[in-house]
Amino acid sequence: MEINQKIEIDKIVCRDVDANYILKLLRRNMNIYFSWDTNNLIDLNGKGLRFTVNGHHHKGHVYVVLNGADLFDVYYCSNRGTIKDIHTNIFFDQLTEIIDNKIERIADYTY
């Protein structure tokens, strides 16, 4: 998928994954997770998780899916579903940090 194209979750090649598993990974550091002002959590019928954020750098939807290599792909979209950025092949233990860098992280913050 290209940037500035509408996201079509049915066309994304991904493996089945429990949305609660993704949420558990994202909540490993609750301070970071809550800084995103996350809401509207939606299970993508076993294909991933979509949620809305209101961060310092990104405001809109975030889609997290598990790709064929058992790594995560993250799509950052506008509220209307236009893809603004994509991160691919993310290991589970890097997921929160990489998403935070795109949504909220400011280098001077300490927590």
CB 35 within 8 A of CB 26: no
The answer to whether residue 84 sits within a structural domain is: yes
Closest C-alpha to 76, from 104, 45, 107: 104
Q: In which order are the strands placed within the sheet that holds 39-43?
A: 39-43, 49-54, 59-66, 72-77, 83-90
The answer to whether residue 94 sits within a structural domain is: yes
Residue 84 CB neighbours (<10 A): 15
The answer to whether residue 54 sits within a structural domain is: yes
The answer to whether residue 111 sits within a structural domain is: no
> CA-CA distance, 93 to 105, in Å (whole number)?
17
The answer to whether residue 62 sits within a structural domain is: yes
Beta-carbon contacts of residue 3 (< 8 Å; ≥ 6 apart): 83, 84, 85, 86
Q: For the chain, how many structural domains are there in total?
A: 1
The answer to whether residue 28 sits within a structural domain is: yes
The answer to whether residue 4 sits within a structural domain is: no
Q: What does the pLDDT profile of the chain (111 residues) look like in tens digits?
A: 557 677 777 677 788 999 999 999 999 999 899 999 999 999 998 999 999 999 989 999 999 999 989 999 999 999 988 999 999 999 999 999 999 999 988 777 665
The answer to whether residue 110 sits within a structural domain is: no
pLDDT at 53: 96
